[in-house]
Amino acid sequence: MRTKAIWPVLDDHGLHKVPLRFYWLLLLLLRPYICWVLVLTLPEAQRNMLALFYPRQVDFMLACAVAAPLLLIIAALSQRKPKGYQSWRHIWRYGRGLMLTVALTDLVLTTVDLPPQVMLDAPWRMVAPVLLFTGCLWLFGSRTLKAVFSEWPDAAAKAH
């Protein structure tokens, strides 16, 4: 006899498991901070490498400011466990909307910053806008993410 897989997939605490795509999208949206850390780990002679991704310093500062709210989501995600701080629950509940706002803003800024002849000169620069657009669609339409962001360990423990 064939057994049916139990859906949704739950983690060790009985909550919906955070999809792996969420972490990939988080990495994409946090790329200014990742670039910053990578540049800080390079030798002094190669520190101008940040200019490859952000030619103007104001672009880098703006990208960091746009991605800053995601640091709150990461902190809330780290507390999404039974013995975590319950005050992060409020940030976690609005995390999907916050992440969608950051993704849409990042998509607009990335698209506006593209050069006019991007498809001829540097088609690789189209990867980020395409991934951001796909991520925005997923954030907007995913039923799994709606369930993930509506749960918190305290509420799940009281239900059982």
Tens of pLDDT along 24-37?
999 999 999 998 89
Residue 48 is part of which domain span? 20-159
Contact between 24 and 139 (Cβ < 8 Å): no
DSSP 10: B
| DSSP E strand stretches across 76-149 | none
Strands (E), the chain: none
Range 56-77 average pLDDT: 93
For the packed helices 31-41 and 20-29, what is the interaxial angle rounded to 10 degrees? 70
Query: How many folded domains does the chain comprise?
Result: 1
- Domain assignment present for residue 99? The answer is yes
Domain-embedded: residue 11: no
Q: pTM, whole model, 2 decimals?
A: 0.83
Paired residues of 16 in beta bridges: 10
pLDDT at residue 6 is higher than 80: no
Q: What is the pLDDT of residue 21?
A: 94
In a domain, residue 155? The reply is yes
- Is 14 domain-assigned? no
